């Protein structure tokens, strides 16, 4: 099987979620607790992405939109650290 990169679509749907109470990385210590969700992309039926989402708005079946959050300063190699996050899709500009 040959693998290749595919750009993630902006829109997805929450498939399942859980609340995390213990930081697994220092960059998220100040964001506790947070929700981790698995989202489905309609355009990529075999792809699911695990991500942090806003607990105030989260529910299974929610239509969401992808955005990239810069979590921390550059690492020792000079690379920035980003986390894929999602916002409710309703009411956001395209």
Q: pLDDT digit string (tens) for 46-94?
A: 667 666 666 777 788 888 888 888 876 677 777 887 777 787 887 544 4
Report yes or no on whether pTM surpasses 0.85. no
Please give the Cα distance from 88 to 57 (Å, whole number).
Answer: 7
CA dist 87 → 31, 35, 65, 75, 76 (Å): 16, 12, 5, 26, 30
Give pLDDT tens digits for 1-43: 787 887 878 888 888 888 888 887 787 778 778 777 888 888 8
What is the maximum span of the chain, computed from C-alpha positions, in angstroms?
41
């Amino acid at each position: 099987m040959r693998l290749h990169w595919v750009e993630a679509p902006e829109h997805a749907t929450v498939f399942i979620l859980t609340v995390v109470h213990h930081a697994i990385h220092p960059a998220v210590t100040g964001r506790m607790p947070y929700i981790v969700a698995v989202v489905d992309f309609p355009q990529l039926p075999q792809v699911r992405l695990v991500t942090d989402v806003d607990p105030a708005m989260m529910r299974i079946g929610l239509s969401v939109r992808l955005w990239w959050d810069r979590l921390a300063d550059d690492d020792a190699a000079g690379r920035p650290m980003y986390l894929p996050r999602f916002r409710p899709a309703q009411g956001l500009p395209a």
